[in-house]
Structures are given as C-alpha cells and as structure tokens.
Structure 1
Amino acid sequence: MKIVLLLVVLVFFSACTSVDVNRIDGSKYHVKSLCIEENKDTTVLRLIEDAADTRGINTSIYREKLPVQCEYSLSYTTDYKWDLVSFLADAQFFIKKSDTEIATAKYHHYGGLDFSKFKDAESKLTPVLDSLFIDFKRVAKASDDKMLSNKYNSLREAKKLLDEGVITQEEFQREKAKFFANPN
C-alpha cells in the first residue's frame, strides 16, 4: 500500500514536456511566402510571424478559405490549462504545400508541479518554431538595418556639428566613444 501511495505521489508531482518537430525540408520546399490561417491566439500568431520573418519568409493572414495564390499555408491550435493561472499546455503547427502536409510541430506540457509550465508562450514556442524553420537561414530584419543606420546617422550628425563648430572636440569624442561602446 505504501508503494502504491508513493507512486501516486510521484506521478502527481512529476511533470513532463514533449516536443515533436518534423521540420520543413528546405532542400525540397523553397518557402518564400506563408499564408497563416487566422486564429484567436494572437500571441502565438506573432511568434509564427517573427520566426518566418527572421528567415526572409513573407507572411499573410487568411480567414476560412485558403486564397488561390497561397502555395504554402500554416494552421495552428493552442490549448491553455488552469493551475493558479492559465498556462500554455499544448500547441500544434501544421504546414502544407497545397493539400499536402509537409511539416508539423507539437508542444505539450503534461502538468504536475513543474513550474516551467508558467513560462510565457514565447519561451516555450520559440525553440519549437526555430526547429520547424531550421533549414531556412536567418536574415537581417529591416528594423535591424534601420537601427544600425540610425546609429551611424547619429555619429555623422555629431561629426557635422563638430565641423560646424557647434560642439567641441571633447563632446564629439564622447559621442564617438558611446558609438563604439554599444555594438547595437
């Protein structure tokens, strides 16, 4: 009886997370654009869009019927459970080329007293989505280029102000030091 009770307690306190990813074969499928079926879980939608965007894949959202121009599509489901607060317990992603499923990814948390279940959806699903799109190289985002451009423009502006006599050499050197001290 004690052994049975001990096993019941261990099962109750244990927890497990499973991830199963069948990635998109980048050598076979050259995904440049991905149509995503509208879903009420906009947090996960944003994560999908970010994962595709960082790999140079354009995304668009569709409702109900897949538009004719969409060669590749993605649909997903999510399920939240309750344990003191709501947490993401299950997420499934399905990618199709026309009517043929070409990739899937599944995340599932089995409960218990594992506090990782309370992590946000981003920390749970980013590794899953990264695995799904692993064959697609990351590309610099336009926003990254814009930030870098703004950084250089700030230094150029400081140099211009120095040349015009608006700021001193010392003030320019401080701006230049800030520029090289911060890599982003």
Structure 2
Amino acid sequence: MKKLILVFVSGLFTFFLSACTSVRVNHIDESHKIDKICIEENNAVIFNEFIDSITNRIEYHGIKTILFAKEHKPLGCDYTLWYTALRSWDFSPYLSHAELKLYKNNQLIGEATYHLNGGGGLSLSKWASVSTKMNPVVDELLNKKMR
C-alpha cells in the first residue's frame, strides 16, 4: 500500500513540475512576400510588453509594422495582424495564453496559439519573458527561420 501511495504522489509531483506548453501554428505560405503588417490594437491586452515583443520580432525579419485603432485602419494595409493575450498571476504576472491571426485583405492566411497548460504549474519557465515565449511563435507564423 505504501508503494502504491508513493507511486501516486511521485506521479502527481511529476505532473505539476512538467507544465506543458502548447503551441499550434498554421504558418503562412512562402508565396506571401510581406513588407508591411498593420496590427490592429487590442485595448483588452493591458500589458505593453506583449505588443512591443510582437512588433519587434516582426521587424526583426525586415517587415515594417503599423499599429492602428480598429476604426482607423490605414490605407494600403494588405496584411493585418489581430492578436489577443492573457496574463496569469503567481507571485507576479506572466503570459499564459496568446493568439495571433494574420490576414491578407480580410482572408485568414496564418494563425498561431501559445498556451500554458494548467497555468504553467510549478514550472519556473512560466515567468520567462514575453519575447522568449513569443519569438519562436512569430517566427513560425511568418515561416521564417531564426537567424
């Protein structure tokens, strides 16, 4: 009986330590030659680090970004990015969920989701920076290799 309890407790402990990150990406086709992405500002995402990380990573690949309010989309924006992000709290805030959707002329051409299963559990990686979490997601969405 003691052995069964020990196995159960050990399995439970392992489960909580191995917080699983789920990343799903439907990257854009290589035929898209993007030089500018207009990003629709989402006022529900209240931490600036998120949008700064996303725009910095897109620009890292030589693509210009323009942030705009929903009602004021600039002319000539063939490519538009929509995003949302959620924070969780465990002693300090951390990114627990994010979605990116990339459109060409209102047609979805790529999307990505980042999600910490179980809120990150006891894993210390849940407190990693937004850039650390989202850079590979943006790279994959844009179908770009990391340099």
User: Shared fold (TM-score greater than 0.5)?
Assistant: yes
Q: CA deviation at 1:76?
A: 0.7
Q: Structure 1 residue 130 and structure 2 residue 124: aligned? A: no
Q: CA deviation at 1:3?
A: 7.8
Unaligned runs of at least 5 residues, structure 1: 139-184
> Would you say the 8 A contact 1:55–1:137 is kept in 2?
no
Q: CA deviation at 1:26?
A: 2.4
Alignment counterpart, residue 50 of structure 1, candidates 52, 56, 60: 56
SS where residue 97 of structure 2 aligns? strand
* Aligned-pair identity (%): 35
- CA-atom RMSD, angstroms? 2.4
Query: Which residue of structure 1 aligns with residue 22 of structure 2?
Result: 18
> Would you say the 8 A contact 2:139–2:146 is kept in 1?
no
> Would you say the 8 A contact 1:26–1:135 is kept in 2?
no
Unaligned runs of at least 5 residues, structure 2: none
Alignment counterpart, residue 41 of structure 2, candidates 33, 38, 41: 38
SS where residue 70 of structure 2 aligns? coil
> Would you say the 8 A contact 1:25–1:135 is kept in 2?
no
CA distance in structure 2 between the aligned counterparts of 1:136 and 1:33, rounded to whole angstroms: 18
Which range is displaced more, 65-74 or 95-104? 65-74
Q: Identify if the C-alpha distance between structure 1 residues 86 and 135 changes in structure 2 by more than 3 Å, giving closer, same or farther.
A: closer
> Which structure carries more strand by proportion?
2
Alignment counterpart, residue 85 of structure 2, candidates 65, 71, 78: 78
Query: Which residue of structure 1 aligns with residue 68 of structure 2?
Result: 62
Structure 2 length normalisation: TM-score? 0.79
> Which structure carries more helix by proportion?
1
After TM superposition, which residue ranges in structure 1, 4 or more long, deviate above 6 angstroms?
none
Query: Which residue of structure 2 aligns with residue 107 of structure 1?
Result: 114
Structure 1 length normalisation: TM-score? 0.65
SS where residue 73 of structure 1 aligns? strand
SS where residue 24 of structure 1 aligns? coil
CA distance in structure 1 between the aligned counterparts of 2:17 and 2:59, rounded to whole angstroms: 39
Give the structure with higher Rg (CA): 1
Q: CA deviation at 1:11?
A: 3.6
> Would you say the 8 A contact 2:54–2:134 is kept in 1?
no
> Would you say the 8 A contact 1:51–1:133 is kept in 2?
no
CA distance in structure 2 between the aligned counterparts of 1:42 and 1:36, rounded to whole angstroms: 14
Q: CA deviation at 1:21?
A: 1.3
Paired positions, count: 137
Q: Identify if the C-alpha distance between structure 1 residues 62 and 136 changes in structure 2 by more than 3 Å, giving closer, same or farther.
A: farther
